[in-house]
Amino acid sequence: MDATLMTLFTAYKLARQTYDEAKRRSDEADKYRRACERTLVDYMLEIGVTKFGTDDDMQPIIVKQQSIQVNKENSEQIRQWLLDTVGDDSDYMKTELSKSAVLELVKDRSESGDEIPEFLGFKESPGLRVLGWQK
């Protein structure tokens, strides 16, 4: 086996392991941060405090967070609700190309030897996939 090849792969493997560990720790830290935030918010609500000052000039404030779910399963119901509520849904519609679908088409055309327009900015470069990599 080529020694340089093995040295380069070993460096790649270490870098990937380091990245995977950092990602795992980041996910854990975010989960902990969210739990701490929830506990603080719950306690603030329990004692009737909406804001307070700290010794380091920070000011935690309770804010109203809002979210909705818009997905394939409920999109028709939402569109109908918009039509019923405001009479039109055009201000709430977004039409955009699917980058992944266009890329698949371009890959197929490239492999067939078709010319790819320059404005697509299509690039091919060698990449690495490691079979057997455990997550």
**CA torsion angle 58 62 66 67 (round to 10):** 60
Note whether 44 and 62 are within 8 A (CB).
yes
Structural domain count, the chain: 1
Residue 76 lies in a domain: no
Residue 51 lies in a domain: yes
Residue 78 lies in a domain: no
> Mean pLDDT throughout 48-52?
94
The confidence band for 17, taking pLDDT boundaries of 50, 70 and 90, is: very high
> Mean pLDDT throughout 87-109?
92
Residue 93 lies in a domain: no
Residue 42 lies in a domain: yes
| pLDDT computed for residue 67 by the predictor | 87
Range of the domain at 8: 1-66
Q: Which residues contact 116 (CB under 8 A, 6 or more apart)?
A: 106, 109, 110, 122
Residue 6 lies in a domain: yes
Q: Give yes or no for residue 135 having a pLDDT over 70.
A: no
Residue 117 lies in a domain: no
In Å, the largest CA–CA distance within the chain is 70
> Mean pLDDT throughout 91-118?
93
Q: Give yes or no for residue 134 having a pLDDT over 80.
A: no
Q: What percent of the chain stands above pLDDT 90?
A: 81
Residue 94 lies in a domain: no
Q: Phi/psi class of residue 88: alpha, beta or left (left: φ > 0; alpha: ψ in -120 to 50)?
A: beta
